[in-house]
Amino acid sequence: MKYMLLMQFSAAGTDFPSIDTWTQDEVRAHIAFMGEVNAKLTAAGEWVDAQGLGGPQQARIVRAGDGGTPVVTEGPFAETKEFLAGYWIVDCESPQRAVELASHISTAPGPGGRPLNMPIEVHPVMSAPAQEL
C-alpha cells in the first residue's frame, strides 16, 4: 500500500525558529538527515518519491474562472500559520509501518541538533476505480 507522508510546518505551537535563521551547519545536518531517510527507504524498497517544497511566499492558489480561465492568486496568505514543507510517497506493508516512518521523519534535527518533532500527516494513496466503471 502506498502512503503519502506530509511534513507540515506550523509557526503556531513550535519552539524553534524558521529555517532561514538556522546556521549553515544546522541546515546541513537537517538536509543530511533527510538524505539518510531517503537512502534507508530506498534500501528497504519503500521509497517512491520525496520532495521538499518552496515556502508559502512561492505558492500560488489557482481556481477556474469564467470559461475555465485560470485565476491565480498568491497564497497561502501571510496570516496562515501552517504550510506544507515537503512530502514522501512510500510503499510499505502496513499502516503501522507508515506511522513508524512518519515518527522517525518527525525527529529531523533542528537548531542545536534537537529533534524538531514536526507533525507528519499520513494519508493512504487511493487506487483508481476498476476500469469497468
Q: What is the mean pLDDT of residues 49-55?
A: 89
pLDDT value of position 24? 96
Contact present, 91 and 46 (Cβ < 8 Å): yes
In 18-128, beta strands by DSSP E: 47-52, 60-64, 70-74, 82-91, 120-124
CA gap 88, 86 in Å, rounded: 7
- Burial of 90 from C-beta contacts in 10 A (0-12 / 13-18 / 19+): buried
pLDDT-derived band at 16 (thresholds 50, 70, 90) equals confident
> What is the reported pTM?
0.83
CATH number of 2-14+21-124: 3.30.70.1060
pLDDT-derived band at 70 (thresholds 50, 70, 90) equals very high
- Residue of 10, 9, 5, 15 lying closest to 37 (CA atoms): 5
